Amino acid sequence: MSNLKKKPELEPVCLEGHRLKTRRDFLSHGFISMSAFTWMPGVLSLISSNSAMAQAADCPVPAVNTKTPVIIFDLAGGANIPGSNVMAGGAGGQMDFLTDYKSLGLPADMHPSRTGMVDTSLGLAFHSDSPILRGIQSVTNNTVQNKIDGALFAASSSDDTANNALNPSYWINRAGAQGGLSQIAGTRDSESGGRSIAPMSSINPSLRPVQLNRPQDALGLVNIGKLGELFNDNKAQRILKAIERMSEEKIMSFNQQTLPDQIKDLVKCGYIGSQDLIGRYSADAIDASLDPQVTQAFDNLSNGDQRKTATIAKLVLDGHIGVGVVEKGGYDYHNKTRRTGEVRDFQAGELIGRVMQLAALKQKNVMIYVITDGGVVAREEIDNTADGRGKYVWSGDSGQRSSAFMLLYRHAGRATLRNGIRQIGHYKASGGVENTATPASNSSTNLAKLITANYLALHGEEGMLTQVVGDNPFGANLNNYLVFNKID
Amino acid sequence: MKTQHRIIGVVISLTFMLFSFNHCVIKQETASKSKTGTSNSTSSSSEPTANLPDPIVDITPEPEPTPMEMPPDPVIIQSQTIDIGVKNFEQINETMAVLTGVDPMTNAIRNTYRDLEVQLPTDNSIKSFLAANQVAITKLAAEYCDQLVNSGTLRAQVWPGLDFGRSPAQELSNNTQRFNIIDQTMNRFWGEQMGGSRNASQLELFSLMSDLLSGENLNSNNTTRTTMKGICTATLSSAQVILL
């Protein structure tokens, strides 16, 4: 206590009007980690020789996300992103047009240099007939569109394989996108929540994504089913408490070699957390179908894609989940037509647009990151069907024509560019990615790190890249690869 | 004397704790000395909050940014080698079916299992055991226990001496009756050889039974059934059943 008197920065700060009542209150103020860990075991050991029960695990305290929510769209199969969707250029950037875009699906009369062939209504330049752009525009108004901007990341990836380590969800969670209900959620039962894997060094098994495909899945996380029919809330919680205590006895009975302390803590937190899950959330708080803003932005929750996207988007935008991953299948669409790809891309654009619209309704920022495993190449054969729109057919896989892009909706107004560029890396005259342009051009893992760096930069924390991902493969050039200035 | 010393120690300790819980916090000294935790309640922003009175008299013109708090390093968890696993969703369902004797194809069980399948553990890695997994395990156990207690044939195999047609006042009125029921439950679901933690679990279940009976109609056989469903659920969804 004497130190408190000497150092003004250590003066106690009394919180006016805030009484500490719950375990969570004490945890959040550090009292349990201080007093409970140092005193409670000692006190209990005086009462009883069995101190095992007193050694509480240092479990994460559930909190509502206060940083930019993130939703990753994983277009499974290898979609087209550069050229026919997001405008792709040479070393000079998006508007440094390539000689031709044939392999990227555009016939000469749709070359971006021709009048009206580029659309910058979202800040990030798209081809004006981009199906992803059309999809976004079909469900958002001008006010929303004027608050969106983004960036294209020229990066190759392998075709038709889940082994591209493109998914940065664990690192983005580590960078601050955290949630009270779950840290990460995905529509697929996998370690990344989607098809493409997360970089191995990023995976924290204790943060494995929960799988959510419909509002009932979210409800299932917090309701207690039959137990709720049989008992009132207090008695149901009492049963969970008994489970926790008896399980802790079992867990503590293993020696350090069999079950290390750190893993014991993880498991104990699973039991403790189950009581938090049950007690903290009402159905109204997490059921997407009961949220009028969700049903305004997503007009058909009986549609599977809308349903799963709405479920994830609501929980992410409301801060209950840090990072959401929405996998959409059907993007290995090189079936010698153009119409299949156009329709699928439009559907992806619609889903992205609906998330943006929901963010606007909820007055939240949101970062959308779109990844795909591999890419497609076109051949000079026009698909003149209504949906083919007079463009070249997609004829084969081409991971060298892959890419990823991000969009940022900032509710207070479009984010400002850091370096005046919206394309990181560039493309060769052939339409392929220049694999030597940046450390991320030919490395999925580095691309995931770069996206994490860009997320950190949104909050002015890019200097923490090494702490979050383990290294900085971009060195002193990192700033050149960051797109936006700090947004809040 | 020894007991008196213990009581004095407890009183002193509790007094100190009550004194320390005075709704005051210690302002973090510097960024480097702050604890790295898991909450995101502090952001990196160093900008003052507009339009709000600042209760802290801050004498430093440029407050240093609070470090970002982040989850534990994944490499540390990945590097741990362990010999213990957790049952996956199929194994949990099969285990509960065998222990209770309830047919897993019963409509209520099948529907619950189908709804919970994505929420139950997907593999045997205990490192990825989540709170969501335990919620699902508890719900599935509750369905099995509901079916078990509602079946005269099945419940007689687990609790042969307990008459579910009688009230708690008749069947669960004294410690001998209660411990007997608890022993039968543990023997059935956990086995008879459990080591040192058995006594603690017995006491926990005894305490749970008392809490579940508290405030209920002790003259109703419905209370007997409901209470036993709770005891069954707690026992069936504990780590003793779920771990490999």
Residue A90 lies in a domain: yes
Cα–Cα distance between A191 and B86 in angstroms, integer? 17
* Euclidean distance between CA atoms B103 and A366, whole angstroms: 47
Structure confidence at residue B196 as a pLDDT band (50, 70, 90): low
**3-class DSSP assignment, residue B173:** coil
Domain that residue A235 falls in: 223-278
A9 CB-near residues (< 8 Å, 6+ apart): B27, B29, B30, B60
Q: What mean pLDDT is predicted for residues A156-178?
A: 95
pLDDT of residue A251: 80
The pLDDT value recorded for residue A248 is 85
CA distance B116 to B133: 9
- Residues of B within 8 A of A277 (CB-CB) are 131-132, 135
Question: Which among A20, A183, A271 is the nearest to B21, CB-wise?
Answer: A20
Q: In 3-state terms, what secondary structure has residue A404?
A: strand
Q: Are residues A405 and A336 in the same domain?
A: yes
Kindly state the percentage of chain A with pLDDT values over 70.
86
Query: Are A446 and A322 found together in one domain?
Result: yes
For the cut 50, the answer to whether the pLDDT of residue B218 exceeds it is yes
Query: Helix-strand-coil percent breakdown of chain B, rounded to 5?
Result: 55, 5, 40
Tokens matching residue A235: 């008695």
DSSP code of residue B195 = T
Confidence of residue B48 (pLDDT cuts 50, 70, 90): very low
Helix (H/G/I), strand (E/B), else coil: B84: coil
Nearest to B142 among A182, A227, A468 (CB): A227
Which chain B residue's Cα is nearest to A37?
B17
Query: Chain B residue with minimal CA distance to A47?
Result: B6
Instruction: Search chain B and give the residue with CA nearest A30.
Output: B25
Instruction: Please tell me the distance from the alpha carbon of residue A37 to that of residue A57, in angstroms, as a whole number.
Output: 9
Whether residue A7 is predicted with pLDDT greater than 70 in this model: the reply is: no
Domain check: are A322 and A391 in the same one?
Answer: yes
Q: Burial level of A161, CB count in 10 A (0-12/13-18/19+)?
A: middle
Check whether A1 has a pLDDT greater than 70. no
Least confident of A139-148, A216-225, B7-16: B7-16
Chain segment A395-441, per-residue pLDDT in tens: 999 999 999 999 999 999 999 999 999 999 999 999 999 999 999 99
ipTM associated with this complex: 0.71
Statement to judge: residues A134 and A265 lie in one domain:
no
Residue A486 lies in a domain: no
- What pLDDT is stored for residue A47 in this prediction? 31
The answer to whether residue A137 is domain-embedded is yes
Give me the pLDDT at residue B77, please: 62
Res B33 pLDDT > 60: no
Position with higher pLDDT, A395 vs B85: A395
Per-residue pLDDT, averaged over B124-135, amounts to: 80
Question: Residue A175 in contact with residue A449, Cβ under 8 Å?
Answer: no
Q: What is the 3-state secondary structure (H, E, C) of A61-109?
A: CCCCCCCCCEEEEEECCCCCCECCCECCECCCCCCCECCCCCCCCCCHH
Give the pLDDT band of residue B124 (cuts 50, 70, 90).
Answer: confident
Q: Cα(first)–Cα(last) distance of chain B, in Å?
A: 46
pLDDT 10s digits, A205-261: 878 899 999 998 888 888 888 888 999 989 998 999 999 899 888 887 777 666 777
DSSP annotation of B27: P
Q: Which residue type sits at A77? A: G
Look at the alpha carbons of B19, B21, B22, B27 in this order and tell me if their dihedral is positive or negative. positive
pLDDT surpassing 80 at residue A72: yes
At residue A54, does pLDDT exceed 80? no
Q: Which helix (H) or strand (E) holds A328?
A: strand A321-328
**Phi (first) and psi of residue A234, to 5 degrees:** -65, -40
State mean pLDDT over A53-79: 76
Q: In this structure, how many other beta carbons lie within 10 angstroms of the beta carbon of residue A89?
A: 20
Predicted confidence band of residue B71 (pLDDT cuts 50, 70, 90): low
Percent of chain B whose predicted confidence (pLDDT) is above 70: 67
Q: What does the alpha-carbon distance between residue A223 and residue A277 come to, in Å, rounded to a whole number? A: 8
Assign A23 a pLDDT band (cuts: 50, 70, 90). very low
Could you tell me the pLDDT band of residue A128, with boundaries at 50, 70 and 90? very high
The answer on pLDDT for A36 being more than 80 is no
Separation CA B82–CA B84 (nearest Å): 6
Kindly report, residue by residue over A289-344, the tens digit of the pLDDT: 999 999 999 999 999 999 999 999 999 999 999 999 999 999 999 999 999 999 99
Encoded tokens for A245 = 């205590």
- B148 or A254: which leads in pLDDT: B148
CB atoms B40 and A278 under 8 Å: no
Yes or no, beta carbons of A278 and B135 under 8 Å apart: yes
To test the contact with chain B by mutation, choose from A247, A286, A456 the residue with the greatest count of B C-beta atoms within 10 A, namely A247
Give me the mean pLDDT over the A147-166 stretch: 96
Strand partners for A184: A323
Average pLDDT, chain A: 87
Mean pLDDT comparison of A180-184, A239-243, A246-250, B20-24, highest-scoring range: A239-243
| Identity of the amino acid at B46 | S
What is the β-pairing status of strands A70-75 and A12-14? unpaired
* Count of the separate structural domains present in chain A: 3
Where helices occur in A233-338 by DSSP H, the ranges are: 233-252, 261-280, 283-286, 292-297, 304-317
Strand A423-424 with A148-153, pairing: parallel
* pLDDT above 80 (res A29): no
CA distances from B150 to A171, A223, A239, B11 (A): 48, 23, 19, 48
pLDDT in tens, A332-379: 999 999 999 999 999 999 999 999 999 999 999 999 999 999 999 999
At residue B83, the pLDDT reads: 67
Of the two residues A206 and A125, the one the predictor is more confident about is: A125
Q: Is residue A50 part of a domain?
A: yes
Using DSSP's 3-state secondary structure scheme, residue A126 falls into strand
Separation CA A103–CA B23 (nearest Å): 66
Give residues with Cβ within 8 angstroms of A175, minimum separation 6: A67, A452, A455, A456, A461, A464, A468, B68, B70
Q: Which has the minimum average pLDDT: A176-185, A451-460, B61-70?
A: B61-70
Structure tokens at B88: 């996956």
Q: Please, what is the Cα angle at A360 between A359 and A364, to 5 degrees?
A: 55
Do residue A259 and residue B207 have CB atoms under 8 angstroms apart? no
CB atoms A66 and B43 under 8 Å: yes
Torsion sign (Cα): A465, A467, A470, A473: positive
**What's the distance, Cα to Cα, between the start and end of chain A in Å?**
37
> What value does the mean pLDDT take over residues B176-191?
94
* % of chain B at pLDDT higher than 90: 46
Same domain, A49 and A102: no
Question: Residue for token digits 């020696």?
Answer: A255
- To the nearest 10°, the Cα dihedral for B224, B225, B228, B229? -150
**Burial class (CB within 10 angstroms; exposed 0-12, middle 13-18, buried 19+) of A361:** middle
CB interface of B with A, residues 38-57, below 8 Å: 38-41, 43-45, 55-57
A93-99, long-range: CB < 8 A, 24+ apart? A93/A421, A93/A422, A93/A423, A93/A426, A94/A124, A94/A125, A94/A152, A94/A422, A94/A423, A95/A125, A96/A426, A98/A427, A98/A428, A98/A429, A98/A431, A99/A429
Structure tokens at A366: 């949101």
Residue of A nearest to B60 (CA): A9
Mutate to test the interface with A, among B10, B25, B34, B214 (most CBs of A within 10 A): B25
Lowest-confidence region among A335-349, B82-96, B151-165, B172-186: B82-96
- Cβ <8 Å between A216 and B60: no
The length of chain A is 488
Inside any domain, residue A114:
yes
Of B41, B77, B146, the CB nearest to A28: B41
Regarding predicted confidence, which is higher, B23 or A155?
A155
The helix (run of H) or strand (run of E) holding residue B223 is helix B221-236
Contact A266, B129 (CB under 8 A): yes
Tell me: do A242 and A202 sit in the same domain: no
The confidence score (pLDDT) of residue B230 equals 97
B59–chain A Cβ distance below 8 A for any pair: yes
Domain boundary residue, one of A13, A30, A54: A54
- Residue boundaries of the structural domains of chain B: 80-158, 161-236
For A88, counting Cβ atoms within 10 Å of its Cβ (0-12 exposed, 13-18 middle, 19+ buried), the class is: buried
- Per-residue pLDDT tens digits for A443-469: 999 999 999 999 999 999 999 999 999
**pLDDT computed for residue A63 by the predictor:** 64
Residue A237 domain-assigned? yes
In a domain, A244, yes or no: yes
Quick one: pLDDT at residue B82?
A: 66
Instruction: Say which range, A67-71, A229-233, A265-269, B29-33, has the weakest mean pLDDT.
Output: B29-33
